[in-house]
């Protein structure tokens, strides 16, 4: 499940890039929620807050750009020959 929140005040700079973790419980207006299952694509709007929760282990492919939350591990994961 993905909960979406419109924060009372901007929590990141408009020029910021990528996914950025927010401290604590941000105040704001509930925008809605999405229950996404296998093969579903959900918009995570810019400048808003989202929180994902899952009752069992799940995998999400996140389309974003480089940012503070980025962890580059391709060199560990990729097969080498």
Whether the CB-CB separation of 27 and 49 falls below 8 Å is answered with: no
Q: Should residue 21 be labelled a site residue for another protein when binding is judged by CB under 8 A?
A: no
* Rounded distance between C-alpha atoms, residue 43 and residue 45, angstroms: 6
Q: Should residue 20 be labelled a site residue for another protein when binding is judged by CB under 8 A?
A: no
* Rounded distance between C-alpha atoms, residue 78 and residue 81, angstroms: 10
Q: Closest CB to another protein among 21 and 62?
A: 62
Whether the CB-CB separation of 49 and 8 falls below 8 Å is answered with: no
Q: Closest CB to another protein among 53 and 75?
A: 75
Query: Which residues contact another protein (rule: CB under 8 A)?
Result: 4, 6, 17, 29-43, 45, 48, 61, 63-65, 72, 74-75, 78, 80
């Amino acid at each position: 499940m993905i909960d979406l929140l419109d924060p009372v005040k901007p929590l990141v700079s408009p020029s910021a890039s990528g996914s950025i973790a927010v401290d604590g419980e941000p105040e704001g207006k509930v925008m809605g929620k999405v229950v996404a299952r296998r093969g579903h694509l959900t918009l995570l709007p810019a400048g808003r807050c989202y929180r994902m929760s899952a009752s069992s282990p799940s995998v999400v492919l996140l389309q974003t750009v480089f940012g503070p939350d980025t962890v580059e591990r391709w060199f560990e994961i990729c097969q080498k020959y």
